[in-house]
Amino acid sequence: SMAEKHFKYIALGGGVSGGYAAREFAKQGVQPGELAIISKEAVAPYERPALSKAYLFPEGTARLPGFHVCVGSGGERLVPDWYKEKGIELILSTEIVKADLSSKSLTSASGEIFKYDNLVIATGSTVIKLSDFGVQGADAKNIFYLREIDDADKLVEAIKTKKNGKVVLVGGGYIGLELSAAMRVNDLDVTMVYPEPWCMPRLFTADIAKFYEGYYTNKGVKIIKGTVAAGFSSHDNGEVKEVQLKDGRVLAADIVVVGVGGRPLTALFKGQVAEEKGGIKTDGFFKTSVPDVYAVGDVATFPLKLYGELRRVEHVDHARKSAEQAVKAIKASEEGKAVEEYDYLPYFYSRAFDLSWQFYGDNVGDAVLFGDNDPASSPHKFGSYWIKDGKVVGAFLESGTPEENKAIAKVARVQPPADSLEQLSKEGLTFASKI
C-alpha cells in the first residue's frame, strides 16, 4: 500500500483562497513541512479573475507566472519557488476523491492518503453545465465553460483556430459580459443570449443594464434576450454548428461559451459537516461544525455581520479575506488567543472593454441612478445607490477613480441616512464624498 503523508495543516484547493491561505500561514510563521496545499490544477495558485480578462486578450496577454497570487491585491507574487523556500508542499495535479473528516484523512484519485491535524476546505466552485439540464447536443466540440486555467487554454486555442468566426455566449452574467467583450476584442462575431429582461439581473438594475447593453451593442455585440439555448447541432467532425434557441431562432456558431452559473464544491463532505444555503456552514472564524475543519472562499456560508445574516459570497475579495481570517484564527487558537470576528463588506467588481465597475454593500431596497448612463456619452461615469429603511446600504460606480471607489465603499459601510431619493440622485458622488 502507498505511504501516508501527514501534515499539521492541509488546504484542500489551490485556487484563490488556497493561495492567500498559504501566504497568511507563512506570515504567521509556519514551519517547513507543516503545510500542504493540495490542488487538482497543475499550476500554483493564481488570480482566477484574470482568466476571463487579460488571459484572453490578443495584446497585453496575461500568462503565468505573471498572475500568481497575490498580485491581484497588490501583494507579492507567489511563484512555485516561494512555496519551496517556505517549506510549503504544493501538491499539484492531485484530485481528492474522498474525504473522511472523522479519521482526518483525504484520499486522492490515485490512492494516496493525506492525513491532517487541521483542514482548510478551499475547493471553490464548479460550473453548471447545459448537459446537467439535458440540453440536446450540449457535448459538441467547441462548446466551452470557464473555471480553471485548462478551460482558458482550450478557449485560447479555439480563438486561434476560428479566426473571424461566430461566437455565441450563453448567459448574461459576469462570464457572459466579460467573455463577449474578450471575444469582440479578438475580432470574433459575438452574439449573447440570455433569458432575463436585462444582463446581470442579480446585481444590475434596469438603468444600470441599459448602459452596458447599449455600450456592448455599439461595440458590435448582438444581444438576444428573453430566450435560452435549447439545443445544438454539430458538423460531421463533432464541432458545434448551430445553436437552437427556445424561441425557434437558429444561430450559426463556431464557438459557444456557456456561463450560466456555478455550484460550490461541497460533495466530498456531504453528511459530514453542517451545511447552509448551499455551502458549508461556518462561524465568523470560518470554523465548520467539525473540530479542526475550516471552510473558506466560495464554499463557505458565513455570518455576514453587517447584515446579521448567513451568506455565501462567490467573489475574489472574499476568497482572499476569508482565507486570511481562517489562518489567523487557527494560529491564534493555538496560542489560546482569539481574533476578531469576520466583519465583511461585500465587494464585487468587473472589467470589460475599457469599462470597470465596483460595487459595495447590499443591493436591496430602492435603487436610484446618478450620473449619465448614456452609453454614447463620455466619460462613462454613473452609478447607483440602494436605500433600505431610510439608509444607503449599497453603491455601484462605473469608471470611478480610486478615491471615488473608496468613497462609495465608505457609504456602504457607514450606511448614512438618506431623506430623499431625488436628492441622492442629484448629489451623486458628492453625497459619497461627504461621508
What is the spatial distance between Cα 202 and Cα 177, in angstroms, rounded to a whole number?
A: 13
Site string for ligand FAD, 282-321 (x = CB under 6 A): ---------------xx---------------xxxx-x--
Strand 35-38 to strand 4-12: parallel, antiparallel, or no bridges (unpaired)? Answer: parallel
- Position among 7, 18, 155, 182 found at the interface with ligand FAD (CB under 6 A): 18
| Neighbouring C-beta atoms of residue 110, cutoff 10 Å | 10
Contacts by residues 79-87 (CB-CB < 8 Å, ≥ 24 positions apart): 79/44, 80/44, 83/22, 83/37, 83/44, 86/22, 86/26, 86/30, 86/32, 87/30, 87/31, 87/32, 87/33, 87/34, 87/35
Considering only residues 93-112, where is the footprint of ligand FAD by CB under 6 A?
A: 95-96
Strand 4-12 to strand 113-121: parallel, antiparallel, or no bridges (unpaired)? Answer: parallel
- Asked whether 260 and 143 are in contact (CB, 8 A), the reply is no
Total residues contacting ligand FAD by CB under 6 A comes to: 36
Strand 105-108 to strand 250-252: parallel, antiparallel, or no bridges (unpaired)? Answer: unpaired
Contact call for residue 281 and ligand FAD (CB under 6 A) = no
- Position among 35, 119, 122, 290 found at the interface with ligand FAD (CB under 6 A): 122
- Asked whether 192 and 222 are in contact (CB, 8 A), the reply is yes
- Position among 23, 86, 104, 147 found at the interface with ligand FAD (CB under 6 A): 147
Contact call for residue 324 and ligand FAD (CB under 6 A) = no
Select from 41-49, 112-120, 210-218, 336-344 the region that touches ligand FAD (CB under 6 A): 41-49
What is the spatial distance between Cα 435 and Cα 194, in angstroms, rounded to a whole number?
A: 38
Provide, rounded to whole angstroms, the least separation between the CB of residue 99 and ligand FAD: 8
Select from 1-9, 10-18, 249-257, 394-402 the region that touches ligand FAD (CB under 6 A): 10-18
Contact call for residue 72 and ligand FAD (CB under 6 A) = no
- Asked whether 340 and 382 are in contact (CB, 8 A), the reply is no
Q: Report phi then psi at 98, rounded to 5.
A: -145, 135
- DSSP letters of 59-99? SS---TTTTBTTGGGT-----HHHHHHHT-EEE-S--EEEE
Select from 23-31, 212-220, 335-343, 346-354 the region that touches ligand FAD (CB under 6 A): 346-354
Provide, rounded to whole angstroms, the least separation between the CB of residue 146 and ligand FAD: 5
Identify which of residues 40 and 166 has a Cβ nearer to ligand FAD in the complex.
40
Provide, rounded to whole angstroms, the least separation between the CB of residue 92 and ligand FAD: 9
Identify which of residues 14 and 383 has a Cβ nearer to ligand FAD in the complex.
14
Contact call for residue 41 and ligand FAD (CB under 6 A) = yes
- Asked whether 51 and 72 are in contact (CB, 8 A), the reply is no
Contact call for residue 279 and ligand FAD (CB under 6 A) = no
Identify which of residues 92 and 435 has a Cβ nearer to ligand FAD in the complex.
92
Provide, rounded to whole angstroms, the least separation between the CB of residue 270 and ligand FAD: 13
Phi/psi region, residue 226 (left: phi>0; alpha: psi -120 to 50; beta: rest), is left
Strand 35-38 to strand 89-91: parallel, antiparallel, or no bridges (unpaired)? Answer: parallel
Select from 33-41, 158-166, 375-383, 420-428 the region that touches ligand FAD (CB under 6 A): 33-41
Contact call for residue 21 and ligand FAD (CB under 6 A) = no
Cell numbers placing 123: 475547493
Burial 391-409 (b: 16+ CB within 10 A, else e): ebbbbbbbbbeeebbebbb
Select from 60-68, 74-82, 270-278, 343-351 the region that touches ligand FAD (CB under 6 A): 343-351
Look at residues 279, 273, 280, 12 and name the one whose alpha carbon lies nearest to residue 120. Answer: 12
Contact call for residue 381 and ligand FAD (CB under 6 A) = no
- Position among 114, 211, 286, 348 found at the interface with ligand FAD (CB under 6 A): 348
- Asked whether 202 and 173 are in contact (CB, 8 A), the reply is yes
Classified as helix, coil or strand, 316 is: helix
Contact call for residue 398 and ligand FAD (CB under 6 A) = no
Identify which of residues 348 and 370 has a Cβ nearer to ligand FAD in the complex.
348
Contact call for residue 13 and ligand FAD (CB under 6 A) = yes
Look at residues 298, 243, 208 and name the one whose alpha carbon lies nearest to residue 15. Answer: 298
- Position among 24, 52, 169, 394 found at the interface with ligand FAD (CB under 6 A): 52
Interface positions with ligand FAD (CB under 6 A): 13-18, 38-41, 48-49, 51-52, 95-96, 122-125, 146-148, 174, 265, 268, 297-298, 314-317, 319, 348-350
